[in-house]
Amino acid sequence: MALREDRVTMAHGGGGKAMRDLIAEVFAAVFQPPGMEDQARLMTEALQVPGARLALTTDSFVVAPMEFPGGDIGKIAVCGTVNDLAVGGARPLWLAAAFIIEEGTEIALLRRIAASMQREAEAAGVRIVTGDTKVVERGKGDGVFVTTTGVGVIAPGLDLRAEAIRPGDVAIVNGVLGDHGATILAARGDMALSTAIESDCAALGHLMQGVLAACPDLRAARDATRGGLASALNELAAAAGVGVVLEEDVLPLRAEVRGVCEILGLDPLYLANEGRLVVFVPEAAAEAVLAAMRAHPEGAGACVIGRAVADHPGMVVMRTPFGGTRIVDMLVGEQLPRIC
Amino acid sequence: MKYASEFRDPKAARALLAEIAATCDRIGATRDKPVHIMEICGGHTHAIFRYGLDRLTHPGIEFIHGPGCPVCVLPMARVDECVELAERPEVIFCTFGDAMRVPGHRKSLLQAKAAGADIRMVYSPLDALEIARRNPAREVVFFGLGFETTTPSTALSIQAAAREGLGNFSVFCNHITVPEPIKALLDDPDMVLDGFVGPGHVSMVIGTHPYDFIARDYGKPIVVAGFEPTDLLQSVLMVLRQIEAGRAEVENQYARVVPEHGNPVSLAAIADVYERRPSFEWRGLGEIDASGLRIRDAYRAFDAEAKFGIGYGAAQGRTVVPEAEGCACGAVMTGRMKPTACPQFGKGCTPDMPLGALMVSSEGACAAYWQYGGARGVAAR
């Protein structure tokens, strides 16, 4: 073991031996990239099919606390980028991972993050093939920031896009909403809330492939991350020029998540998810898609939540159990807890 | 939250709605000649719109939205004073999230934070107390804000600071009381109010008797209400039944939470720490006698107004500044104007670019109209 220190020092970012040791021991030994050149050199048969396309996406991850019930920043960094590829119809293949590490960060924490990333990558069928580290002075960062860039392949003829959504299409989610956001709120410990909720953080590549197999004319899919389901639906409605009607009494929400939201005055539709997506499918395919989702553990709670309509284009509306309706808008800033 | 779901039962709600409609018909309430019921609390305003109760109730019911949103009733000058405090280099300014986006003349707290002020969002004044313990070299100021619901927790934090001798903790006190502005509204000859739905969480602390004057002196019914849809519908029905029977009484619909005489422990803490100000400025209502609380001399060391010579504690007296040009928050908040009748609604004033607090506070009437879409059809988007 060349790495002696317990914590990251500025030397680990200095370009010398300390940095090499950190990268080799903490990251490369775990990820086992195909080479240690500055670039990964990649080939896949899927790309040689005429009409196949490359998909490329990138996302940066910051979360406090870095470890929480049901996951950690490493798991989110893999799942988030895998999911961004998956909802575009791509089969996720490779990831690059870059770490901005604050001086003083425990090396044991970095090891746990790396192990978690590798575990998640294997489960999702992707490889972490290249990466980078930078060290910033204490106070200039917040523990560890992770950026992952993902590459995948889209099969010929597949073209998921919001514009394809038609009035009458059915909206389906793969499980209960808001678990991740509620977990993070509770884990911050500010409210002395103790809950048994765990983050929903999960890679959805396999689930999406199953959905596509069951419904080749799937219209569009979106992962409901920051801003929650409400933001994902608003983006889709605006891009498609359709209205969306949700039914409040069928929205899948855990009692604990409802409870956290009641106490803090938050709306669960805006809570972040890290393993939830919403798809729009032709009505005739709804049952097949539900069955395909439920065949995966991360789709066990799949259900229909509403549909696209010709009325109020660009607007998401929720029907309450009383027959009233209300607009489910884009979030302006972040959700702020209320006074009383 | 099974406790909440039974109060959201659509079947129970439909039965109440039918009963409300029948009562309206019997007393001759119509769209043109409606019964004006003021829900005082912003939490009630939001519940009404969230569940679409405004459109489900008989057209003979007109909800008038009251001044019960603590962020909304703060005059802009008070927000400016917060920003001024927060910008002092030695200060860590702690606030509920609600108040962050409310515009001041120069900036909101959110903008002040982005410009470098040390502003922390907390969930309770006890969090601010903890920040003060951990930062002995800094001055920690808690933005004490709200009606009788939040006043006890601020009082308890001041008592704790006094016990611990925590000299770097103070409260910028903006605590206000519900009965006084209601009296001011009832004294206004322009206001037409036939009955009230009273704020349940406030009565959890103060009980129901502080509202006796509404029935006794003004002859208006008031029903202290819970916050679930069937709570509200039942309370509206109780108000209507009083009107039908020619009664004017204080009734308690929220008896599962509200004791008649309030919470003695909270009331004792309030009495120990606070006294009434001679008057306090309200947005849209002006100075109202005895409507605000200040920290007693015994706890003066924890009073940010005295400590920093700001607001009512300023040596040269408080600066009174006008509200933003074209902002009708005052008229909306006192029920004189519907949010959608404000010429700025959805045009010069949106949640992204608010002119006044009512558009951004989680209990603001304009925010309710905007968020739940009661009026988006007529608003330019």
Spell out where chain B has E strands.
35-41, 61-68, 91-95, 119-121, 139-146, 169-175, 195-199, 222-225, 250-252, 274-276, 279-282, 286-289, 293-295
Q: pLDDT at position A153, please?
A: 97
If you average pLDDT over residues A233-259, what whole number do you get? 94
* pLDDT per position as a tens digit, B115-169: 999 999 888 898 899 999 999 999 999 999 999 999 999 999 999 999 999 999 9
Total residue length of chain A: 340
For A266, nearest residue in chain B (alpha carbons): B362
Give yes or no for residue B374 having a pLDDT over 70.
Answer: no
Where is the domain boundary, A94, A128, A154?
A: A154
The residue segments making up the domain with residue B360 are 329-372
Does residue B213 sit in the same domain as residue B238? Answer: yes
pLDDT tops 80 at residue A276: yes
Lowest model confidence (mean pLDDT) among A73-77, A166-170, B352-356: B352-356
> Are A309 and A260 in the same domain?
yes
Together in a domain, A172 and A222: yes
Predicted local confidence at residue B139, as pLDDT? 98
Do B95 and B174 meet the contact criterion of CB atoms below 8 Å apart?
A: no
Q: Would B268 be classed as within a structural domain?
A: no
Strand partners, A147: A60, A98
A325 touches chain B (CB under 8 A): yes
Q: Is residue B379 part of a domain?
A: no
Contact call for A337 and B98, based on CB within 8 A:
yes
Kindly state whether residue A277 falls inside one of the protein's structural domains: yes
A198/A135 same-domain check: no
Q: Check residue A1 and give its pLDDT.
A: 56
> For residue range A313-327, what is the model confidence (pLDDT) as tens digits?
999 999 888 777 888
A334: in domain? no
Query: Considering A105, A127, A154, which residue would you say is the last residue of a domain?
Result: A154
Average pLDDT over residues B170-179: 96
Q: Residues A280, A281, A283, A288: is their CA dihedral positive or negative?
A: negative
B298-346 tens-digit pLDDT: 999 999 999 999 998 887 777 777 777 778 888 888 888 889 899 889 8
* CA distance linking residue B381 with residue B370, whole number of Å: 11
Q: What is the pLDDT of residue A190?
A: 60
Q: How far apart are the first and last CA of chain A?
A: 55
Residues A177 and A296 in one domain: yes
Q: Is residue A335 part of a domain?
A: no
Q: Are residues B201 and B153 in the same domain?
A: no
From B315's Cα to the closest Cα of chain A, the distance in A is: 31
pLDDT at residue B379 above 80?
no
Asked whether residue B284 is assigned to any structural domain, the reply reads: no
Statement: residue A196 has pLDDT above 90: no
**CATH code of the domain in which A142 resides:** 3.30.1330.10
Q: How many domains does chain A have?
A: 2
Helix (H) or strand (E) holding B272: helix B264-273
- Which residue did the predictor score with more confidence, A46 or A79? A79
Q: Are residues B16 and B140 in the same domain?
A: no
Query: Range of A72's domain?
Result: 10-154
- Predicted pLDDT at A191: 58
CB B151 within 8 A of CB B274: yes
Cis bond before residue A156 (omega within 30° of 0):
no
The C-alpha atoms of residue A38 and residue A131 are separated, in whole angstroms, by: 8
Task: Please name the residue that has the structure tokens 């898609």.
Answer: A289
- CATH number, position A288: 3.90.650.10
Strand partners, A56: A151
Residue type, B293: L
What's the structural domain count of chain B? Answer: 3
pLDDT of residue B224: 97
- Residue A339 is assigned to a structural domain of this protein: no
Residue A64 neighbours by CB distance under 10 Å: 11
Co-location of B100 and B237 in the same domain: no
Q: Which residues of B touch A325 (CB under 8 A)?
A: 52, 373
- In this complex, the residue of B96, B100, B372 whose CB is nearest that of residue A327 is B372
pLDDT band at B354 (very low <50, low <70, confident <90, very high): confident
Here the ipTM equals: 0.71
Q: Are both A19 and A147 inside the same structural domain?
A: yes
Please give the share of chain B, as a percent, with pLDDT higher than 70.
96
Query: How high is the pLDDT of residue B378?
Result: 35
Same domain as B344, residue B197: no
pLDDT averaged over every residue in chain B: 90
Cα separation of A221 and A280, whole Å?
Answer: 6
Tell me: do B80 and B214 sit in the same domain.
no
Q: What is the mean pLDDT of residues B348-369?
A: 85
Q: What is the mean pLDDT of residues A92-99?
A: 97
Distance from CA of B100 to the nearest CA of A (A): 8
Instruction: Judge if A179 and A317 occupy the same domain.
Output: yes
List the 265-284 stretch of A: residues with Cβ below 8 A of B: 265
Q: Report, as an integer, the average pLDDT of A230-250.
A: 95
Q: Count CA atoms within 13 Å of residue A239 on its CB side.
A: 16
Distance between B56 CA and the closest CA of chain A, angstroms: 7
Of B51, B121, B376, the CB nearest to A327: B376
pLDDT of residue A339: 56
| Residue in the block written with tokens 């575009």 | A88
Question: B164 and B187 in one domain?
Answer: no
Whether B63 maps to a domain, the answer reads yes
Maximum mean pLDDT: which of A187-191, A271-275, B52-56, B103-107: A271-275
Clarify whether residues B36 and B63 are in a common domain: yes
Q: Regarding predicted confidence, which is higher, A94 or A183?
A: A94
Residue B343: which residues within 8 A CB-CB, separation 6 or more? B326, B328
- Residues of chain B that touch chain A, judged by Cβ-Cβ distance less than 8 Å: 1-2, 4, 8, 10, 13-14, 43, 49-53, 55-56, 70-71, 96-101, 110, 121-123, 127, 145-147, 149-150, 201, 229, 351-352, 362-363, 370-373, 376
Specify whether A192 is located in the same domain as A125: no
Which whole number is the average pLDDT over A39-62?
A: 93
B372 pLDDT tier (thresholds 50, 70, 90): confident
Task: Say yes or no: A217 and A186 in one domain.
Answer: yes
Q: Does A139 touch chain B (CB under 8 A)?
A: no
Would you say residue B91 has pLDDT above 90? yes
Collapsed DSSP state (helix, strand, coil) of residue B257? coil
Distance from CA of B372 to the nearest CA of A (A): 4
Question: Do B95 and B142 share a domain, yes or no?
Answer: yes
Planar angle of CA A83, A85, A91, nearest 5 degrees: 105
pLDDT above 70 coverage of chain A, percent: 95
Closest CA to B21 of B60, B76, B66: B60
Note whether B212 and B225 are same-domain residues: yes
Q: What angle do CA B196, B201, B202 make, to 5 degrees?
A: 70
Q: Who wins on pLDDT, B190 or A131?
A: A131
| pLDDT of A166 above 90 | yes
How many residue pairs bridge chain A and chain B with CB atoms within 8 Å of each other?
92
Taking the CA atoms of residue A62, residue A68, residue A71 and residue A72 in that order, the dihedral angle to the nearest 10 degrees is: 40
pLDDT score at A336: 64
Q: Is residue A4 part of a domain?
A: no
To the nearest whole Å, the CA of A330 is away from the closest chain B CA by: 9
pLDDT at residue B377 in the model: 46
Question: In the prediction, which pLDDT does A15 show?
Answer: 85
| pLDDT of res. A167 | 97
Report if residue A126 sits inside a domain.
yes
User: Per-residue pLDDT tens for B219-270?
Assistant: 999 999 999 899 999 999 999 999 999 999 999 999 999 999 999 999 999 9
- If you count them, how many residues does chain B have? 381
Report A:180-209 residues touching B (Cβ under 8 A).
190-191
Nearest to A322 among B51, B110, B149 (CB): B51
Question: Could you tell me the pLDDT band of residue A337, with boundaries at 50, 70 and 90?
Answer: low
My answer on whether A226 and A182 are in the same domain is yes
Asked if the structure places residue B148 within a domain, the reply is yes
Q: Which residues of A83-111 are buried (b: 16+ CB within 10 A; e: fewer)?
A: bbbbbbbbbbbbbbbbbbbbbebebebbb
Structure token pair of residue B293 = 């609380």
Residue B219 resides in a domain: yes
Beta carbons within 8 Å of A4's beta carbon, 6+ residues apart: none
Does residue B1 carry a pLDDT above 50?
no
- Which range has the worst mean pLDDT, A91-105, B189-203, B349-363? B349-363
Q: Are residues B185 and B50 in the same domain?
A: yes
Q: Which residues of B271-305 are buried (b: 16+ CB within 10 A; e: fewer)?
A: eebbeebeebbbbbbeebeebbbbbeeebebbbbb
Q: Tell me whether residue A51 is in a domain.
A: yes
> Which position has the higher pLDDT, A89 or B72?
A89
Per cent of chain B over pLDDT 90 is 64
Q: How far is CA A262 from CA A210, A316, B1, B365, in A?
A: 36, 22, 8, 19
Does residue B35 belong to any structural domain of this protein?
A: yes
The residue among A121, A154, A187 that closes a domain is: A154
Q: Is the pLDDT of residue B351 over 80?
A: yes
> Is the pLDDT assigned to residue A87 strictly greater than 80?
yes
- A339 vs B8, B145, B229: nearest CB: B145
Q: Give the pLDDT band (50/70/90) at residue A118.
A: very high
Q: Are residues A140 and A187 in the same domain?
A: no
Verify that B168 and B185 share a domain, yes or no.
Answer: no
Shared-domain flag, residues A241 and A99: no
Residue A60 lies in a domain: yes
CATH number for position B110: 3.40.50.11740
Least Cα separation, residue B288 to chain A (angstroms): 23
